[in-house]
């Protein structure tokens, strides 16, 4: 019984860690995308002048 509980908790912990890592990766990707967008906008503005 105890081993099953521990296993389940361990599984949940790893799942949470995975979720956190995934979230961090997605955030980094979206931040990069935002920066790219801003860079492109700046480039467009510079080309106009």
Domains in the chain: boundaries: 19-49
Q: Does the pLDDT value for residue 41 go beyond 60?
A: yes
Task: Count Cβ atoms below 10 Å from residue 12 Cβ, excluding itself.
Answer: 10
pLDDT of residue 20 exceeding 60 = yes
Rounded CA gap, 38 and 13, in Å? 37
Cα-based distances in Å from 14 to 17, 20, 28: 5, 10, 21
Residue 6: pLDDT over 70: no
Burial 16-49 (b: 16+ CB within 10 A, else e): eeeeeeeeeeeeeeeeeeeeeeeeeeeeeeeeee
So what's the pLDDT on residue 31?
94
Across the chain, what does the average pLDDT equal? 83
Q: What is the pLDDT of residue 46?
A: 85
């Amino acid at each position: 019984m105890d081993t099953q509980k521990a296993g389940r908790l361990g599984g949940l912990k790893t799942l949470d860690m995975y979720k956190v890592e995934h979230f961090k990766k997605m955030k980094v990707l979206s931040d990069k995308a935002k920066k790219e967008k801003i860079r492109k906008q700046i480039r467009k503005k510079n080309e106009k002048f």
